[in-house]
Amino acid sequence: MADPIDFYFDFASPYGYFASRRIEDLAAAHGRTVTWRPILLGAIFKVTGMKPNLQQPLRGEYLVHDVGRIARLTNAPFTYPDSAPANSVAASRAFYWLTDEHPEQAKLLARTLYHAHWGEGRDIGPAETVVEIAGTLGHDRAAVAAALQDQTVKDRLRAENDAAVDRGVFGSPFVIVDDEPFWGWDRLDMVERWLSTGGW
């Protein structure tokens, strides 16, 4: 059995959103599964010295134009959120609280949070919003709220972020196939070619 594909993403990343809509089908077509790994780019930027794209002159304006164009190209539901860039801490904690025992439910939560933010334009930064969205999927709201403040969950997210940096992850989306790294939504075609050919 081939190793899973590692899919690193930040909920604040529109490019991660577009990748999240394709990665599972891409992997399944090649007999692979996907391990979803939310990260916090804010913490990673402290290592790389970068700033969020939206805070960079010229690059921020380009991103706003580009993501609308990708949404039209891929027929993705898209509403640019006023809250961008969102604080993705609560969303990421909720995912890691759920993923060990219920990985498919965690993926569904991630896709639902992503859709709420980039598809509907909602601010998913507040903990109460994450709790409410998780509740619509049948999760106990009190349990989710407690998990977001649980030190074990906080430590897990920090450890996942540190591990991502150790693997060379610096952006979203970031896909690793058998130790081969690919950064960016526009690299998914290359990922597919890599899987088809075994690499080059």
User: Which stretches of the chain drop beneath a pLDDT of 50?
Assistant: none
- Spatial neighbors of 128 by CB under 8 A, at least 6 apart, are 145
Query: Distance between CA atoms of 180 and 189, rounded to whole angstroms?
Result: 14
Q: What is the pLDDT of residue 167?
A: 98
- pLDDT at residue number 53: 83
What single DSSP character describes residue 86?
P
Instruction: Sketch the domain layout of the chain as residue ranges.
Output: 5-197
The CATH fold of domain 5-197: Glutaredoxin (3.40.30)
Query: How many CB atoms are located within 10 Å of the residue 82 CB?
Result: 8
Catalytic site residues?
A: 13
Taking CA atoms, 104 is separated from 14, 51, 96, 99, 192, in Å, by 22, 32, 12, 7, 22
